[in-house]
Each structure stands twice: as C-alpha cells, then as structure tokens.
Structure 1
Amino acid sequence: MLAKRHPAMVDSIAGAVTVKSLDLYYVVASDAQIPLKGEHGFGLYFHDCRFLGGYRMALAGLAPIVLASTAQKGYAALFELTNPDLQTDQGQSIPKDELGIRWERILDAGQTCVREVMTIQNFGHEAHSFPLTLHFRARFEDIFNVRGLVQQDLGRPERAAWREGRLHFVHHGADRLRRTATIAFSPLPDATHETTAEFRIHVPPGDTQTIAITIELNECSEEAEANHLNQQPTVALDGLAGNLQAGSEEWLERHTKLDSDSLLLNGIMDRSLRDLAMLRSDLGSREYFAAGVPWFVALFGRDSLIVALEMLAFLPEIAAQTLRLLAGYQGRRADRWREEQPGKILHELRVGELAGAGNVPHARFYGTVDATPLFLMLLSRHAAWTGDLGLFRELQEPVERALGWIAKAGDDHGDGYLKYRSPSEKGLVNQGWKDSADAIVRADGSIARPPIALVEAQGYVFAAKHAIADLYERIGERNRARELRGEAEKLRTRFNRDFWCEDLDTFALALEARGRPVAVVSSNPGHALWTGIADRGKGRRTVRRLMQDDMFNGWGVRTLSTAERRYNPVGYHLGTVWPHDNALLAAGCRRYGEDDAALRIFTAIAEAAMHFRHSRLPEAMAGFPRKDFQVPVHYPVACHPQAWAAGAVPFLVTTCLGLEPDAFANMLRIVQPRLPDFVNRVALRGLRVGEASADLEFRRTDGGAEVNIRKTSGQLTVEVRG
C-alpha cells in the first residue's frame, strides 16, 4: 500500500555525493563507497531501478580514509582517499597516509555506463605491495522497494558470473524486461571470488598504478538479443569529461546571466543552474526537470510545473516542453486504480519493474489535486514572458478539459472548492504538495478526514481562471473570459469567508469533511497569498503571523507551527523548512506589500545554502531554531539536488526585483525593486521578454533599489515603478 509519500524509510543520505546525467544517476557515501549491507539509498540507478546496490573498495581488507570529495560538476565525482595503517599477508607494514588514491567517476549517459579511474600513488620511500579488492552487489531493486514503500521481490535473478575477466549480473523482470549490469576492468583482476575482483598492487616509491573500471547497464525486452559490453575501460577520462563539460556550459549559456557583488548570491545561482542542468531528463523529444535525486528522478506534474514556473525569467523554453509533455499525458478516462479522470494532469510517471508489471499504478498515476490548476498557471505565465499565443491555441482543448475537471473535482456539495479523496487503497492519502499521510492534521493532532479542500489549491484555481481568462480575451473570446473571471471572483468571496480563522490571524490549512476548517497555523496560506486570492487585510495579517518565531526559524518559514500538537522538526511536512515553499511565500509577501518579510526570507534561505555542500539547497531542512545550532540541520533523507529547491533562489530574485513581463505589449515592468541586505548590486544580462531582451543593473538604496537600463535589443520598453 502506498498511502504516504515520505521520501524513504531508509538510513540518512544527508552526506551523499550525487551525480546525474539524463536518466542515469549515482548516489554514493562521502568515502566513495556504497554499503554492501543495510537499508540505505546509495547506489547506481537507471529507469527507477537500483542496478548496483553495493560497491566496496578495500586495501588489504581495510576501508580507505576519505580526505576530500566533490561532485560540483554534476556529471562527475572525484574522491581523494588515503590508507590506514596496513599490514599485508607478506608481513609488510604500510604506514598511514603513504598511499594516495584518486578515484574519478564520470557518467556516460549516451552509453548508459559509468567510467571510473582509480589512481594509486606511493608517496613513501619504499615500494609497496598489497591487495586491493572491489566487492559488488547488484539486486536490481525497484525504487519503491529501495524507499521501503513496497515489500515485493519480483522477477528472477541469475547467479552472478565471471566471463573473460568481466563480472555479469542479470535480472529477468516481471515486466518482461531483462536488466543487466556488466563490469569490466583494465588491467584484468589477478583473482576473482563470487562478486569480488582482487588486484595485487605493486607501486614503486613515487610511482603510480591505475585501475580503470566500466559499469555498463542495459535494459531490453526478453525477446531482444543480449547486449554485451562493448566499451573497453580507459585510463584517460579527459575526452569524455571535456565533451560533458562543453555540453553543460552550452546549456547554461542559454540562460539569463546574473552577476552581483555578493559571492554568496553568485554561488547559489551558479549551483542552482548547474543542479537544474543535472536534473534535465527527457521523454521522447520533450525535456523536463526531474523532481529530485535519488527518490524522484521522474516526471512529476506538480514539481515539474513549479520549477518551470520558477525559472521563467531565466529559461522559458523548458516551460513549453513541460506543458506539451503533460498535455500528452492528460487524463482521458476514469480509472480508479490510477486515479485518472478526464482532464486531470498527471502526478507521477514511473518506468520501473513494479510499475511496468502493474503492481503499482505509477506507470501513469494521477493522484494529485493541484497539478491541473498549476498547468494552467504556467501556461499563462509562459505567455506573459514570451508573448506567444500559439502555445495556448495549440493546447486550447487540453485547457478546456482541465477547466472541466476542476469544475467537477470533489465538489459533491456544490460549494465550488477543489477537493480530493483517494478512491484507491494504493493511492496517496493526501494530494497537495504536502502529500505524506500525516501532513493534514487538526489542532488536536488527529488526521483530517477527506474530502479535503486545501487552502493553496483554491488559490491556484483562482489564479488559473483569471490567467486563462486573459488569454481568452486576447484571442477574442470575451464571453469565455468573462465567465472564468466571474467564477474566480465568486471563489474569492467564498474563500475569504470560509477559510479565514480570526483567532489564528491566518487562513486554515484546509477544509475537511463537512466543510470544517482544519484550524492550524501552517505555511500553506503563503501559496494562497502568491495567487492573490486573499483580501488585502487578511493577506497582510497572514504574513505577519507566518513571520512569528513559532513559524520562522531563522532559515525560513516552517511547514507547521511549533505551537501545534503535531509539530515535529524532522516531520516531512510537520515542521521542516522547504526552500520552494518559502520562495512562493515570499512572492505572496510582496504581493501584499510586505516587502521586508520577503527580503527576510530571501536572506534566510541564502544564508542556509552556504552551509550545504557546494551551496546546494536541499529539498527540506529540519525545523530546529537557528539560535540553537547556528547552522541548518539536515533533513536525513532529503533529495539533493532537488528541482524546485534549485529554482527557489532564481524565483526569489525574480520576485524581489519586481520583474513583471507583458510580452504582448513589448513591455517589462519593474515594480518596486528591492535587494536583500547581503546584496548591493545585481546585474541581469540577456533577460528575454518576447523576442526582445534587456541588460539591467539594480543598486540597493534606502528602502528600495535604483534601476539602470544598460541595454535593450528588439522592441522592448522597460518601465520602472516605485
């Protein structure tokens, strides 16, 4: 049963080193190892399958000592290791730190393989001889098994076998796919034992010895010809690394460029863009951002839509591809197993063995309440940045189907709210962005009863209807535009009456069965403020409530107040701090004139980032107060990199600079620009609005920022307000 979406029921991966290229990704411990035993998330993954779940290197039977590790480039990892005190079988002693071991790993997604080079250097004055062993484990576990959500071992594994110096693992899946992992070495091992390769290393003083390893993964139908590894291990990775680096830089070059006087902001922005370059995946010819490594390397409707929206000022093209991709998977029929309904936008698409065999519904799963209005919101925002009505015309039929689904979804009492209730025992109990089973809780700590109308989902519907109305107006369908605006305004009136909790100074988290408010203080109303559905006075009161100490922990706003019965600083949605949640909340603050709160959030999130490896914002942080530890506490199994976390700071920049495009009018409005205290100057180069672009410079002043329009190209008017 998949009643919850906790990321995993496994040991912490907070210190993991992750690399990814397209659908191939590697998650290893900071010492370069993958444990051979235990419930952990480390491994080599492809297409929702952990092909390699154990990989241990030993020197004379002992683990090496890690000195440094990095995966800053995204597609490659580098480890510097050394030896503990060693005693060989021949009685030789090798003092600690006399061996240097440089272990390079590069993902070659084009060949679906990992290429590794291990260089052992002798820094001592005597020759050293010792055994080096590599132990492997491959069980071809489905991602749902790894996460502990399903306990099913499907398919039939073959016994691992050595042939011509290569180690072969084979698994015959219940989905009629054969998965293989083939490991080749150069030089060949001196000895092999079951799934272990042994090398007898001899290194003269000052000299080096190198071992090259290639791990090739293959997935094909049972009827297809077996595909044997045809790539020879190579001791030089420079050519492959150069090609991958060039491809990464070419992709980054297409973005709007940001430069500032803040090394912190520059570092976070560079990391964010490189993480999103890592998270690119494709289906057919459509590119999208996978949600996060290691648990959610897949197409997720909500996640992929939100990060595409966050990145519109920097890379608008991926939004159009994401919209077309999701329109292609839009629900066409009623299917309780998959929670598919006509017009509904996909939640999750998986391609692993359990999904392919039909044991979980995720080969095409629709258990989300908010992806459909977010689809409409992204379509409208993309049009505002690009001035392109062609995409709207192309997707007009999916748009109408989406609006039709919204009109019917969960509205069994005629109150006009978008609600959810899972019809399947294997579905998600909760279907907003806080989709763990215990996320929607009452003040007494008990679980809210469906059907549930989330506060933010109503805001998404309000914004979606207004946004699509504007597009209908532009193509001359004024009656449809008027109808949608009328529906949105009626929703606004009901919302401010039914969701407002006067005694809490904020909106309820949700309405549960029989329309009862789930009256707890949570971050969800911040999303509603972003959409503009709240009355102005109530919106401003909400901001002030969310910035109190029980919600704002110094690194951002918590998902749930410390005063609530179910608060838990490491509860997935019950007290953690999420960067994307805060970025949308900050946009809500700006919308209601609470600029100082938005800047305070921006500063907190940025300062949190500098405490994580490579300034990489994780999916979530623990909710402990900043004053207690002075550093953000890792959420143990958070995805890193994670797409909408990577998009959080680019969106905060867009929000606080007040960038409001109207490409249809060849206009960029800059409304009340503000910079946080840690930044005095920001320059944007190549900011695209429609077919035109602008180079802009912002300098912080008392109470605002002055704007210097350095250059425009094409037909573009830049108007500064406030």
Structure 2
Amino acid sequence: MAEQSVFAPGTERGDLVPGVSTIEGSITDALVLKNGNLFFVSQSDASVPLARGHGFGLYYQDCRFLNGYELTISGRKPEVLIHTAEAGFMATLGLSNPDLNFDGHVVPKHAVEMRWERVVSADELTLSDTLLVRNLTTEPVEFSLEFRFEAAFEDIFAIRGLFEGKRGTCHKPEWRGDTLYFRYAGADKLDRVLAIQFEPSPNEKLAKGAGYRIQLDARGLHETKVTLKVSTSERPDCAFPSPAEHASQKAGGLRRWFENTAEVHSSSRILSRVMDRSLRDLGLLRSTLDGGAGYFAAGVPWFVALFGRDSIITALQTLAYDCSIAEQTIRLLARYQGTKLNGYREEEPGKILHELRVGEMARLGEIPHTPYYGTVDATPLWLVLVGKHSVWTGETRLFEELRPQIDAALNWMEQYGDVDRDGYVEYSCKIEKGLANQGWKDSGDGIVNADGSLAEPPIALVEVQGYVYEAKIEMAKLFRRCGEVERAAELERSAQTLREHF
C-alpha cells in the first residue's frame, strides 16, 4: 500500500508507456481545487513544497505555473487545525501558531488564530488567498509572515517523467509595485506569466516572495490578500479582480455548476448528501475547450484533458442530470475525429480520439497527443452516446447534423477496427511511445492470458465487442426513426451476427 503522505516520484514504474517511467504516489490527503481549466493541488496544510520532485502546484493548459508556495509565521510552519474544500473551487483552513520567538518577542503556542480562505476562479484565472490572523490573547503580540514561491512553468508530461522536451527561458522574477512577476518564454513561442499581487504592501519584497511584520493589539486582527494570476500571450493579462468581484466569484462559482443540473430530492439525508457531493465532484471535473465547449475531464491532476473514453462514459452516466454537456462532448469529439492515416498519432479516418493535450510539448509536436488516437473503445462509445442522447432528449437533431461523422465512425469499426476480418474489433500499438494497451485497462501489464502471461497484439477486448454491438443497435434505431429502414436493418443484422459469433 502506498504511503498516504507521498505525492512525488520516489519510486517509478513503467506501466503507461513501454520503456518509460511514471510517477507513483498518493494524493489521499491533498487539497484539490478546480474551476474550469485552472486547478490547484496542495498538501493538506495548503502549501506546495519549495523543493523539486513532487506533483503539487497550480496548473493551467497542461503547464504547472506554480511549483512552490509556502507560508511561514516567524520562520515556522503554522499548524493545521481543520480544513475543508467541499465546494470544489474554494477551501477554508483553520490554522494556529507554534511557539514563536520573533526578534525577542515570544508568542506562545495557539496565541494566534489564522483563517486561510482560498478561491480558484476560472473567469479571472486567479487563485485568491485571504489570510486573517487574530490575536487570541489579552496582550499585544508581534511576529512575521513570510510567503515564498517557485515557478518553473513545466509541461505536465515532463513532471510525470514520461517525456523530456525542449525548454524555453525562465526570466528572473521582478517586482512592479506590489506585484511579483514570474515569466517564462516558451520554446513554443508562447509567453506564460504568473503575477502575484499582495495587499497591503509587504514590508519586505524578497526575490521570490514577500514578508510582513505583524503587530497586533489584544484581540487584534490583520488581513492579508495574495492573488496569483496566470496568463499567456494567447490570453493576455488583465486587471486583478476587485474585492467585490472576489466575493461574487465565491457566490457564483458553485451556482454555475448546478444551473443546468436536475435536482435530486430524497427523504434519506445520507442519499441526499451522497448525491450532492457526487454532483459537486462532477462539477469539479467540468472543463472547457475551443471557446467554451464543456466536457468532463478524466481526473486531477494528471488527466485534466479531453479523453475519449472517460469523457464519453461520464457524459453517458450523467444524461439524466444534464444532457447539455453530453451534446458538447459529442460535438467536441466529432470536431477532432480522425480524417486520415497518421501513424505517429495512430490516427485513422473515422476514429475518435483518446487524448488531447494543449501544452508546450504538444504545441512543439514532441508528443503525439495533438490529439492522440490510441484507443479501441472511444469510437463505438461515441456512437452509443449519440444514441442515448437522442433517447433522453427525444431529438434526432444531433444525428442528422453529424451524419458524415457517424458514417465515418461506423466505417472505422468495419474497415480499421477489424483489420484481420475475424468479426471482432481489436487493437495493436503502432508507435514506440504509444499505449501498449488501448482499452480501459491501459497499463502495460493490464491484459493477460489465462496462464498469466502478457497478451500479444492484436487484442480483442470482450467489453469492446459489447460496445460495438450496442453502437450498432443504437444507430439502427436512429436510422429507422429517420426513415432509413434498409440501413437500420443492415446494422441490426451486423449486430446480430456479432452476438451469435461471440
């Protein structure tokens, strides 16, 4: 069993890509905040280690903008008493001080209460921290607060140890007024900037941080605001949010997640809480692409991207609650459907993608995920989603609009999916750095024979044949509804043949 406190490449194993290692560890105790495409993963005390060799940080578009963020009080880490991140985009922590001695000023343990509130905004691309410190004693206290940061602007594939790519230039951090700027000129010709604004003005402006000298009267209060804003030359920096805008982010963030979702009411408080938390977690995974089209990402932190299989299955399982994201997912995947033979990306005409990345390495063409098509099940599952969406909405609109893509997907199953013409859809990895296994169990040793030996390609997975069968049945229903009886009968016969052969 993995250590619960570890989230670093301490030990490595080569299971995702042949000959390439991947990070092993647990984020069981991590605080995870996400809003749209911006997400932040921290330790349970809300910090990100300044040392290298971990996966915590602030991420946007497959780049870790921030890889170190530590708060100390008179040089010591505060003690965490309680924390919650139930809302998904916001966290609140209750902390307290250890025994302190600041320039001869002794502050006993737990004399200072610290309330740390953190909000992630998708609209502003900000991580907004508000730190309220309160003197709980009847005597004045004096101490310091130090904020320290690291920003290396690493591609997510480099962090995971999967690939090594070209690097651009990290410029020396610089202060402009009360804002500290970290800037990276990418090898992909894209500038990435992390701007950190402090309010009030810090007493000490450090090379990679800031310091405050705090003096509190008996029962006194002090508030510090730290706002981290990411930007790129594709989406230039804009003004920091005002306090009123910051408050509206908190009020509106969760509401936007639920505005199109069916309500669930139950006499069971347990069931109601489970459903509420489940929908909140799904809201956490909602991401956007191509100007706002929504989809469910596969998971934080490594898989915040459009994945064919994962995004489709989640959209299928949530049709009863929100049909709109299923439609957006269908359209997104149709937009990136394969149109030609491309061995590097394992692209084939009609094939639905496995994974789409937009980071520096993808933009440079150093990885095939632009998109990468190494999946055997996304194409039939996409057809199933089209069919089930029609069942839930009662419409054939999408089917009619996407007929060329649907015909191409059906043809892929027959022409490219079943290369050896044995009646089953199978796969074999075509590139050295591709996925050896291309179903839901995609680790290198995920598919074994009855005797325990590794299965050799081509491999026909049992569940994929079920997806193909259901895809043909769902498409037959839609063809019949649209008056194409002969095409419907042809698909039904093909599905029945597969069933009997199986």
Compute the TM-score of the two structures, normalised by the length of structure 1: 0.65
Asked if the contact 1:60–1:87 (Cα under 8 Å) also holds between the matched residues in 2, the reply is: yes
For 1:92 and 1:395, the matched residues in 2 are separated by 71
The CA deviation string for residues 53-84 of structure 1, in whole angstroms up to 9 with x for no partner, is 11000111111100111111121111111111
The equivalent of 2:239 in structure 1 is: 230
In structure 2, relative to structure 1, the CA distance for the partners of 1:432 and 1:219 (3 Å cut) is same
- Alignment-mate amino acid for residue 373 of structure 1: P
- Alignment-mate amino acid for residue 80 of structure 2: V
Q: Helix, strand or coil: the match of 1:260?
A: coil
Q: Helix, strand or coil: the match of 1:359?
A: coil
C-alpha deviation, 1:423, in angstroms:
1.0
The CA deviation string for residues 177-209 of structure 1, in whole angstroms up to 9 with x for no partner, is 000101110112211232121111111110111
In structure 2, relative to structure 1, the CA distance for the partners of 1:18 and 1:421 (3 Å cut) is same
Asked if the contact 1:102–1:118 (Cα under 8 Å) also holds between the matched residues in 2, the reply is: yes
For 2:109 and 2:253, the matched residues in 1 are separated by 36
Cα RMSD (Å):
2.1
C-alpha deviation, 1:288, in angstroms:
1.4
The equivalent of 2:99 in structure 1 is: 85
For 1:228 and 1:397, the matched residues in 2 are separated by 40
Q: Helix, strand or coil: the match of 1:276?
A: helix
In structure 2, relative to structure 1, the CA distance for the partners of 1:6 and 1:391 (3 Å cut) is farther
The equivalent of 1:150 in structure 2 is: 163
In structure 2, relative to structure 1, the CA distance for the partners of 1:6 and 1:469 (3 Å cut) is farther
The equivalent of 1:265 in structure 2 is: 271
Match of 1:413 among 420, 426, 429: 420
In structure 2, relative to structure 1, the CA distance for the partners of 1:488 and 1:229 (3 Å cut) is closer
Asked if the contact 2:69–2:150 (Cα under 8 Å) also holds between the matched residues in 1, the reply is: yes
C-alpha deviation, 1:348, in angstroms:
1.0
Asked if the contact 2:187–2:360 (Cα under 8 Å) also holds between the matched residues in 1, the reply is: yes
Q: Helix, strand or coil: the match of 1:176?
A: coil
In structure 2, relative to structure 1, the CA distance for the partners of 1:406 and 1:236 (3 Å cut) is closer
The CA deviation string for residues 214-272 of structure 1, in whole angstroms up to 9 with x for no partner, is 11111115xx9xx5563267499433322334434xxx243222222322221111011
C-alpha deviation, 1:476, in angstroms:
1.6
The equivalent of 1:384 in structure 2 is: 391
For 2:155 and 2:113, the matched residues in 1 are separated by 36
Asked if the contact 2:476–2:491 (Cα under 8 Å) also holds between the matched residues in 1, the reply is: yes
Match of 2:229 among 196, 216, 219: 216
What does residue range 642-681 of structure 1 map to in structure 2 within 5 Å?
Answer: none
The equivalent of 1:12 in structure 2 is: 26
- Alignment-mate amino acid for residue 64 of structure 2: R
> Residue 481 in 1 paired to residue 494 in 2?
no
Match of 2:143 among 130, 136, 150: 130
For 1:123 and 1:10, the matched residues in 2 are separated by 42
- Alignment-mate amino acid for residue 249 of structure 2: L
What does residue range 561-580 of structure 1 map to in structure 2 within 5 Å?
Answer: none
> Residue 3 in 1 paired to residue 9 in 2?
no
The CA deviation string for residues 385-423 of structure 1, in whole angstroms up to 9 with x for no partner, is 111012111111111100111002343332111111111
Match of 2:219 among 198, 203, 206: 206
The CA deviation string for residues 101-124 of structure 1, in whole angstroms up to 9 with x for no partner, is 111111222121111111111101
The equivalent of 2:293 in structure 1 is: 286
The equivalent of 1:274 in structure 2 is: 280
The equivalent of 1:48 in structure 2 is: 62
> Residue 242 in 1 paired to residue 255 in 2?
no
For 1:331 and 1:242, the matched residues in 2 are separated by 41
Identity of aligned residues (%): 45
- Alignment-mate amino acid for residue 107 of structure 1: V
The equivalent of 1:64 in structure 2 is: 78
Match of 2:336 among 329, 340, 360: 329
Match of 1:371 among 370, 378, 395: 378
Asked if the contact 2:295–2:329 (Cα under 8 Å) also holds between the matched residues in 1, the reply is: yes
For 1:476 and 1:242, the matched residues in 2 are separated by 49
- Alignment-mate amino acid for residue 66 of structure 2: L
Match of 1:354 among 355, 361, 379: 361
- Alignment-mate amino acid for residue 93 of structure 2: F
In structure 2, relative to structure 1, the CA distance for the partners of 1:469 and 1:115 (3 Å cut) is same
For 2:96 and 2:179, the matched residues in 1 are separated by 27
Q: Helix, strand or coil: the match of 2:424?
A: coil
Asked if the contact 1:5–1:435 (Cα under 8 Å) also holds between the matched residues in 2, the reply is: no
C-alpha deviation, 1:47, in angstroms:
0.7
- Alignment-mate amino acid for residue 79 of structure 1: L
In structure 2, relative to structure 1, the CA distance for the partners of 1:353 and 1:401 (3 Å cut) is same
- Alignment-mate amino acid for residue 397 of structure 1: P
In structure 2, relative to structure 1, the CA distance for the partners of 1:8 and 1:20 (3 Å cut) is farther
> Residue 192 in 1 paired to residue 198 in 2?
no
For 2:375 and 2:446, the matched residues in 1 are separated by 14
C-alpha deviation, 1:4, in angstroms:
6.2
C-alpha deviation, 1:424, in angstroms:
1.0
The equivalent of 2:108 in structure 1 is: 95
Q: Helix, strand or coil: the match of 1:382?
A: helix
The equivalent of 2:173 in structure 1 is: 160
Asked if the contact 1:411–1:417 (Cα under 8 Å) also holds between the matched residues in 2, the reply is: yes
In structure 2, relative to structure 1, the CA distance for the partners of 1:168 and 1:10 (3 Å cut) is farther
- Alignment-mate amino acid for residue 279 of structure 1: L
Report the more deviating stretch, 164-173 or 462-471: 164-173
The equivalent of 2:5 in structure 1 is: none
For 2:18 and 2:58, the matched residues in 1 are separated by 25
The equivalent of 2:318 in structure 1 is: 311
The equivalent of 1:36 in structure 2 is: 50
- Alignment-mate amino acid for residue 213 of structure 2: R
Compute the TM-score of the two structures, normalised by the length of structure 2: 0.93
C-alpha deviation, 1:85, in angstroms:
1.1
Match of 1:24 among 35, 38, 43: 38
Q: Helix, strand or coil: the match of 2:340?
A: coil
The CA deviation string for residues 325-382 of structure 1, in whole angstroms up to 9 with x for no partner, is 1111110001111111000011111111111111111121111110000011111111
Q: Unmatched 5+ residue regions in structure 1?
A: 496-722
For 2:209 and 2:18, the matched residues in 1 are separated by 38
**Count of paired positions:** 487
The equivalent of 2:10 in structure 1 is: none
Asked if the contact 2:18–2:433 (Cα under 8 Å) also holds between the matched residues in 1, the reply is: no
Q: Helix, strand or coil: the match of 2:233?
A: strand
For 1:459 and 1:170, the matched residues in 2 are separated by 50
Asked if the contact 2:107–2:141 (Cα under 8 Å) also holds between the matched residues in 1, the reply is: yes
Q: Helix, strand or coil: the match of 1:36?
A: coil
Q: Helix, strand or coil: the match of 1:106?
A: strand
For 1:75 and 1:273, the matched residues in 2 are separated by 13
In structure 2, relative to structure 1, the CA distance for the partners of 1:10 and 1:201 (3 Å cut) is farther
> Residue 76 in 1 paired to residue 90 in 2?
yes
Asked if the contact 1:255–1:314 (Cα under 8 Å) also holds between the matched residues in 2, the reply is: yes
Asked if the contact 1:37–1:54 (Cα under 8 Å) also holds between the matched residues in 2, the reply is: yes
For 1:456 and 1:277, the matched residues in 2 are separated by 28
Q: Helix, strand or coil: the match of 1:258?
A: coil
The equivalent of 1:425 in structure 2 is: 432
In structure 2, relative to structure 1, the CA distance for the partners of 1:185 and 1:408 (3 Å cut) is same
For 2:109 and 2:19, the matched residues in 1 are separated by 45
The CA deviation string for residues 123-165 of structure 1, in whole angstroms up to 9 with x for no partner, is 0121111121111000011111222222345212112222323
For 1:236 and 1:11, the matched residues in 2 are separated by 37
The equivalent of 1:702 in structure 2 is: none
Asked if the contact 1:5–1:437 (Cα under 8 Å) also holds between the matched residues in 2, the reply is: no
Q: Helix, strand or coil: the match of 2:384?
A: helix
The equivalent of 1:112 in structure 2 is: 125
Report the more deviating stretch, 293-302 or 238-247: 238-247
Asked if the contact 2:350–2:412 (Cα under 8 Å) also holds between the matched residues in 1, the reply is: yes
The CA deviation string for residues 610-647 of structure 1, in whole angstroms up to 9 with x for no partner, is xxxxxxxxxxxxxxxxxxxxxxxxxxxxxxxxxxxxxx
